[in-house]
Amino acid sequence: MRGSEFAELRAFVAVVDRQSFVRAAESLGIAPSSLSQTIRSLETRLGVRLLARTTRSVAPTEAGARLHARFRAAMIEMDAAVLDVLDRRQEAAGTVRLHAPRLAVQTFVEPLLGEFNARHPDVVLDISVSEVSLDIVREGLDVGMRLGESIDRDMVAVRLGKPFRTLVVASPEYVQRHGAPKSPADLRDHRCINWRQPGTEGLYKWEFFKNGQWFSVAVEGPLITSHKDLALTAALQGVGIAFWADYRVQPFIEQGRLMALLERWCAPHPGWFLYYPRQNSGAPAVKAFVDFLREAWSPTRGPNGKGRATRTDTSGKGPRRGA
């Protein structure tokens, strides 16, 4: 295979992976017009149409899907072989593009930025903080952080910290004025602080566990927010009842500023994971970042405990969006 033919096939795989000529061109470091010409040359050389294109979307044809499935696997193996050689002859260097929710970055990355930089001064961390779920392969990102139950099964996942519970909490002043709910159903009669996941229309339904089954409750109240710190602040001020991760509210419970309610209905779920596509595992910079966090956060201690983490299955049942 000539070099130009390999370049055409690599460009084709990039377009199918990202479902966009613009994003694929960015990942390859070329102009979209040049990429379009490359794909036309490949289709002309093979004598078959590989992509179905409209003004808004691009998708493989049946022939294109077959070619992508076979060549992408071969390309991943070739890239891994080259990266393995590079990994053995040089220190980690390059850019790691991370996408993660604010809480995950705040908990697992911020406390260790200085230590990581001192250990790997030639690695650039490009961190996008967003609550919106993305396809990191399609967006040209290297790694992401999510709650374990929402990670695709074809990703490599590394646990960060241990499983945690989402607790129902209210200030003592609120409970004195309005009483405490006796069951999750009673929350419908209380002033609750609602959360909307950014990028979605509906409100998050609070999730509980009883008799081996998860169930959800829609709540109402005087405040709706997409920022969970604001929900916590409002609960501390007696605005209403909030629902948030135990390790975030526990200090205020110990101080007597919040009360935990309905605890027997609040079960653990898998917790936070770092995840990445298998083909990225050999890149020196990505490997350095993954190994660093793997060593830093132990699943046997809390999200703020340090130790050694291990690769973990994320298929355990649990609520889909709480935290």
Contact, 168 vs 262, CB < 8 A?
Answer: yes
Q: Are 278 and 286 in contact (CB under 8 A)?
A: no
Give the pLDDT score at 310.
36
231-251 pLDDT, tens per residue? 999 999 999 999 999 988 999
pTM: 0.60
94-113 pLDDT per residue, tens: 999 999 998 899 889 999 99
* Residue 289: partners with Cβ closer than 8 Å, 6 or more residues away: 96, 98, 116, 120, 123, 125, 143
CA dihedral 62, 281, 162, 182 (to 10 degrees): -20
Which DSSP category does 91 fall into?
-
Whole-number pLDDT of residue 180: 97
Which candidate, 67, 56, 249, 60, places its Cα nearest to that of 170?
Answer: 249
Q: What is the pLDDT of residues 38-55, one digit of tens each?
A: 999 999 999 999 999 887
Residue-level pLDDT at 300: 53
CA atoms within a 13 Å half-sphere pointing along the CA-CB vector of 240:
21
* Residue-averaged pLDDT of the chain: 85
- CB under 8 Å to 18, separation ≥6 — which residues? 24, 27, 137, 138, 139, 140
The SS3 call for residue 268 is: coil
pLDDT score for 86: 57
Predicted local confidence at residue 29, as pLDDT? 86
Position 282 scores a pLDDT of 67
Residues of the chain with pLDDT under 70: 1-3, 82-90, 149-150, 280-282, 298-323
User: How far is Cα 218 from Cα 228, in angstroms, rounded to an integer?
Assistant: 17
